[in-house]
Amino acid sequence: MKNFFKIFSFLVLLFGFSTNLNCAEKVEYLKTDWSFKGLFGKFDRGALQRGYQVYTEVCASCHSMKYLSYRNLAEKGGPEFSVAQAKAIASSFEVSDGPNDDGEMFTRPGKLSDKFVMPYDNVKAAQAANGGAYPPDMSVLVKARGGGVDYIYSLLQGYEEPPAGVTLDDGVYYNKYMYGNKIKMPNQLSDGLVEYADGTEASVEQMSKDVTTFLMWSAEPHLESRHRMGFKAIVYLIILTILVYFSMKRIWSRIETKI
Amino acid sequence: MSDHEYIPKSKFGKWFNDRLPLLTLANHLTDYPTPKNLNYWWTFGGILTFCLITQIVTGLVLAMHYIAHADMAFDSVEHIMRDVNYGWLIRYIHANGASMFFLAVYIHIFRSLFYGSYKAPREIIWIIGIIIYLLMMAAAFLGYVLPWGQMSFWGATVITNLFSAIPLVGEGIVTWLWGGYSVDNPTLTRFFTLHYLIPFLILGLVVLHIWALHVPGNNNPVGIDIKKPSKDTVPFHPYIVIKDGFALLMFMIVFAFFVFYTPNILGHADNYIEANPLVTPAHIVPEWYLLPFYAILRSVPDKLLGVVAMLSAILILAALPWLDTSKIRSAVFRPLYRQFYWILVADVLILGYVGAMPAEGLYLLIARVATAYYFLHFLIILPILGFREKTMPLPLSITEPVLGGSQNLALVKDRKKFEN
């Protein structure tokens, strides 16, 4: 046991040392309070609805969300728009469908069961429209980036004038949180860019937080039920463990030995 | 095996048992005499059985919804995460279950190293265990490829390319493994098939592992042979069953914490980006449990020798019963081995750590020193230690504690005389 602690403290030192080394190179991400962190973390419904608004008015012109359907917007644990609202949202999009009985493709208003409409027909078209860079699909973007929500939140606010000595090509922008600092997406957010339906002031910070929350939900749509079930499961396991512990003590008391 | 013949009480039981002695087997498993001084490090065998069954059951359900096709695999995983009822739960249990499985197996292996469980007469148990461990690594690697994310694709590319280091036939073997000239759909479908097969091979080997264990019986923390059954042993049921159950529940709490609260912390973010043969990730790293071997691979400058070193690092374990020349099993009575044991533990942890870091500068140097020490431990230190080490006196039985000092030493000597 003593040796175990020796090794353990050695490891702690080792890792502590190495994280210090790494920190020297990395930039600290901007911090904010995320309502969905922690044992009982839940999404902020307002933030999700506002985040959807930012997504659809700003991001959606380039970024797809191919794993989301309009029905998801009305599902529990999500933005929880009413079914009527979600239907209205869906029908505001033109969806191509077909072929019909004449063998023709046609467009119709969206339904709840439709996937989010893609801004481009294919990756090549997206690249052609964006100077060769493909705007990544945002469905699981938060989980696909090392820094997660903090990274996305910071990136949206990380646009700066390039420091002296850094030259940028045409169509490349400076962002202090981007890997290598060079990003092909221009700064999208500016104060008052969207007019929030609930009257919240649309500062860059507020919009970044809202849209990042929305992206977290789109990446982990079952996060709330996961947290709820996790708490129940762990409490159950702890109680059962305690009961089994006492049964074990009882059973082993027949034998004169310590366990 | 228990020495008395088991006779079922009921007439039907007797009739059945004469034809297929399942009841004798059940009776053997219940009565199986187990040393009563087993500590909690011995509970990981049961925990590992639980891990294997969990992986098979969750894997079965996942396979019902997963599509092994390069264009659809990533989408089908997202379908599981979003639209399959409790699909997220099953997938997170399966993904984190792999890590938990390895956590448990490493504890199990290092327990064996500490208490000398690999020594005579348990060499076959140990070697079967090493084969299980190799199959586990294969299964884990194949499984990691299935979501068809960036790390899946590039991990598969890196690992399969290792075979190209084989002289003359290497390139041909790689093409054969891929089923084409790059990692693509044929690779994915065969990886899926093999990933489905291996757990059942492991299951079969686990049966052999336990069978081989039940011949000599468990080793124990004191490491001495004990008479079975005797006052040194307890029947497996209920004593060991309840204790293993208690330890398993503690393990499940840790497991549940990962599944429900940090389900992606042990994975790599890049695996949520769909595989793209045209974009290479900045750092290609395997899962944490393969990192020590990855560090050994990268610490050798030559590709072929690197692969040889990595394979030897695992296969050397199979020769361990003969490399360790000491007759004393438990490290408790081997003061020098105990020190080297903990150095080895630290060495493997360091290897794991540098395996996650870029192979350059100081990290590479540390990796090389740690790799050299790893082999030094097994090839030089252990064989010599068996001859040079002055071990402490062994107790005569588990119930008889070591009284310490000369009196006990005399007892041991007496016993030796008696045995001769």
Residue B342 in tokens: 């903990």
> Which residues from chain B sit within 8 angstroms of residue A222, using beta carbons?
81-82, 88
What is the average pLDDT across B230-253?
A: 95
Chain B residue with minimum CA distance to A258: B37
- Cα of B208 to nearest chain A Cα, Å: 29
Separation CA A209–CA B28 (nearest Å):
62
Residue A244 sits at the chain B interface (C-beta within 8 Å) = yes
The 10s digit of each residue's pLDDT in A27-85 is: 799 999 999 999 999 999 999 999 999 999 999 999 999 999 999 999 999 999 999 99
Closest CA to A234 of A223, A245, A242: A242
Q: What is the pLDDT of residues B153-210, one digit of tens each?
A: 999 999 999 999 999 999 999 999 999 999 999 999 999 999 999 999 999 999 999 9
The values of phi and psi at residue A43, to 5°, are: -75, 150
A247 Cβ under 8 Å from any chain B Cβ:
yes
C-alpha closest to that of A90 among A54, A63, A125, A52:
A52
CB neighbours (10 Å) of residue B183? 28
Check if the beta carbon of residue A215 is closer than 8 Å to that of residue A36.
no
- The answer on B329 and B243 residing in a single domain is no
Q: Which residue of B has its CA nearest to A227?
A: B260
Q: Does A18 touch chain B (CB under 8 A)?
A: yes
Flag whether B257 is in a domain.
yes
**Contact status, residue B328 vs residue B120, Cβ threshold 8 Å:** no
Is the Cβ of A8 closer than 8 Å to some Cβ of chain B? no
Residues B299 and B326 in one domain: yes
Residues A6, A257: Cα–Cα separation, whole Å: 28
Residue B231 lies in a domain: yes
Contact between A39 and B261 using a beta-carbon 8 Å cutoff = yes
Please give the interface size between A and B, counted as residue pairs whose CB atoms are below 8 Å apart.
93
Report yes or no on B274 lying in a domain: no
Q: How confident is the model at residue B15 (pLDDT cuts 50, 70, 90)?
A: very high
- CB atoms A7 and B238 under 8 Å: no
Does residue A225 carry a pLDDT above 60? yes
Q: Is residue B207 part of a domain?
A: yes
Q: How far apart (Å, rounded) are the C-alpha atoms in residues B273 and A145?
A: 9
The closest CB to that of B250, out of A14, A230, A241, belongs to A241
Contact A251 B245 (CB under 8 A): no
Q: Which of A244, A254, A256 to mutate to test the interface with B (most CBs of B within 10 A)?
A: A244
Q: Cβ separation of A234 and B256 shorter than 8 Å? A: yes
CA A123 vs CA A17, A64, A223: distances in Å: 43, 10, 30
pLDDT of amino acid B227: 86
Residue B330's φ and ψ, nearest 5 degrees, are -75, 135
Q: Looking at residue B313, what is its pLDDT? A: 97
Which residues on neighbouring strands pair with residue B234, listed in sequence order? B34
Residue A79 φ then ψ, to 5°: -65, -20
> Quick check: A179 and B282 CB within 8 A?
yes
The answer to whether A226 contacts B270, with C-beta atoms less than 8 Å apart, is no
Please state, rounded to an integer, the average pLDDT across all residues of chain B. Answer: 93
Nearest to A248 among B246, B272, B350 (CB): B246
Which pLDDT does position B396 carry in this prediction? 83
B398 is a domain residue:
no
Alpha-carbon distance of A102 to B92, in angstroms, equals 46
* Domain residue limits at B23: 1-28
- Asked which of A87-101, A158-172, B66-80 is least confident by mean pLDDT, the reply is A158-172
* Domain match, B3 and B73 both: no
Indicate whether B80 and B186 sit together in one domain: yes
Of B82, B238, B256, the CB nearest to A230: B256
Residue at B404 is within a domain = no
| Interface predicted TM-score of the whole assembly (ipTM), two decimals | 0.91
Q: Is the pLDDT of residue B407 over 70?
A: no
- Same domain? For B171 and B225 the reply is yes
Contact A237/B252, CB-based, under 8 Å? yes
- Return d(Cα B91, Cα B62) in angstroms, integer: 7
B101 and B212 belong to one structural domain: yes
Point out the residue among B36, B256, B353 whose CB comes nearest to the CB of A14: B353
State whether residue B257 sits within 8 Å of chain A by CB: yes
What are the tokens at A57?
A: 């008015």
| Contact flag B249-A237 (C-beta cutoff 8 Å) | yes
Residue whose C-alpha is closest to residue B268's, from B257, B284, B280: B284
Which chain B residues in 296-325 lie under 8 Å from chain A, judged by CB atoms? none
A103: contact with B, CB 8 A cutoff = no
Query: Are residues B180 and B95 both part of a single domain?
Result: yes
Q: How confident is the model at residue A200 (pLDDT cuts 50, 70, 90)?
A: very high
Which residue from B399, B392, B327, B393 is spatially nearest to B35, judged by alpha carbons? B399
DSSP chain A: -HHHHHHHHHHHHHHHHHHHHHHTTSPPPP----TT-STT----HHHHHHHHHHHHHTGGGT---TT-BGGGGGSTTTT---HHHHHHHHHTSEEEE---TTS--EEEE--TTSBPPPSSSSHHHHHHHTTT------TTGGGGSTTHHHHHHHHHT-B-PPPTT----TT-EEBTTSTTSEESSPP---TTSS--TT-----HHHHHHHHHHHHHHHH-TTHHHHHHHHHHHHHHHHHHHHHHHHHHHHHHTTSSS--
- Would you give the end-to-end CA distance of chain A in angstroms? 15
Chain B hits for A259, CB-CB cut-off 8 Å, are 243
- Residue B410 inside a domain? The answer is no
> Which positions in chain A touch B346 (Cβ < 8 Å)?
7, 10
Contact call for B269 and A257, based on CB within 8 A: no
Q: What is the band of B55 on the pLDDT scale with cuts at 50, 70, 90?
A: very high
CA–CA distance, B208 with B214 (Å, rounded to integer): 10
Q: Please name the residue that has the structure tokens 């107790």.
A: B395
Q: Are residues B61 and B105 in the same domain?
A: yes
Chain A residues touching residue B92 (CB < 8 angstroms): 226
CB of A106 within 8 Å of a chain B CB? The answer is: no
| Angle (deg, nearest 10), helices B170-178 and B185-214 | 100
Tell me how far apart the alpha carbons of residues B48 and B58 are, in angstroms, rounded to a whole number.
15
Q: Judge if B90 and B214 occupy the same domain.
A: yes
Q: What is the mean pLDDT of residues B330-355?
A: 97
How many domains is chain B built from?
Answer: 3
**Does the beta-carbon distance from A248 to B253 stay under 8 Å?**
no
| pLDDT at residue number B411 | 46
Instruction: Kindly list the residues from chain A whose CB atom is less than 8 angstroms away from the CB atom of residue B285.
Output: none
pTM above 0.90, yes or no: yes
d(CA B179, CA B186): 5
Residue located via tokens 């190495």: A18
Tell me which chain B residues have a C-beta less than 8 angstroms from the C-beta of A70.
none
Taking only the tens place, the pLDDT of each residue in B206-221 is 999 999 999 999 999 9
Per the CB < 8 A criterion, the answer to whether B108 and B44 are in contact is: yes
In a domain, B77, yes or no: yes
Q: Taking the domains of chain A in order of start, what are their residue ranges?
A: 226-259
pLDDT band at A125 (very low <50, low <70, confident <90, very high): very high
Helix B170-178 vs helix B150-161: crossing angle, to nearest 10:
150
Q: Are residues B149 and B240 in the same domain?
A: yes
Strand, coil or helix: B188: helix
Q: What six digits make up the tokens of B382?
A: 């252990």
Contact A230 B270 (CB under 8 A): no
Closest CA to B389 of B319, B341, B347: B341
> Looking at residue B405, what is its pLDDT?
40
Q: Are residues B244 and B359 in the same domain?
A: no
* B149 three-class SS: strand
* Residue B51 belongs to domain with CATH number: 1.20.810.10
Which of B84, B242, B288 to substitute to test the interface with A, most A CBs within 10 Å? B242
pLDDT of B4 reads 59
Q: Identify whether residues B98 and B201 lie together within a single domain.
A: yes
pLDDT at B246 over 90: yes
pLDDT at B400: 67
Quick one: pLDDT band at residue B398, thresholds 50, 70, 90? confident
The verdict on a CB contact (< 8 Å) between B89 and A234 is: no
Q: Please report the residues numbered 172 through 211 in chain A whose beta carbons come closer than 8 angstroms to any beta carbon of chain B.
A: 179
What mean pLDDT is predicted for residues B39-47?
97
Quick one: pLDDT at residue A248? Answer: 96
SS3 label, residue B113: helix
DSSP string, B279-344: ---SS----GGGHHHHHHHHHSSSHHHHHHHHHHHHHGGGGHHHH---S---GGG-HHHHHHHHHH
Q: How far apart are the CA of A192 and the nearest CA of chain B, in angstroms?
A: 32
Q: Is B228 on the interface with A (CB under 8 A)?
A: no
Total number of residues shown for chain A? 259
Q: List, as own/partner pairs, every contact residues B163-170 make where C-beta atoms lie below 8 angstroms and the sequence separation is at least 24, other chains included.
A: B165/B303, B165/B304, B165/B306, B165/B307, B166/B304, B167/B304
Task: Record the tokens describing residue B103, joined without a space.
Answer: 């956590």
* Burial (CB count <10 Å: 0-12, 13-18, 19+), residue B299: buried
pLDDT for the residue numbered A12: 55
Tell me which of B413 and B170 has the higher pLDDT. B170
Would you call A164 an interface residue with chain B, using a CB distance cutoff of 8 Å? no
Contact B37 A247 (CB under 8 A): no
Residue ranges in B8-149 assigned as alpha helix (H): 11-19, 22-31, 44-65, 73-82, 87-115, 123-145
What is the predicted pLDDT for the residue at A27? Answer: 79
Interface membership of B270 toward A (CB under 8 Å): yes
Residues 348-387 of B with CB under 8 A from A: 349-350, 353, 357
- One-letter amino acid identity for A69? S
Is residue B367 within 8 Å of residue B299, measured between CB atoms? Answer: yes
Check which CATH number belongs to the domain holding B295 and give it.
1.10.287.980
Given a cut of 60, whether residue B376 has pLDDT beyond it is yes
**What is the rounded distance in angstroms from the CA atom of residue B386 to the CA atom of residue B323?**
9
Which residue does chain B place closest to A221, by CA atoms? B82
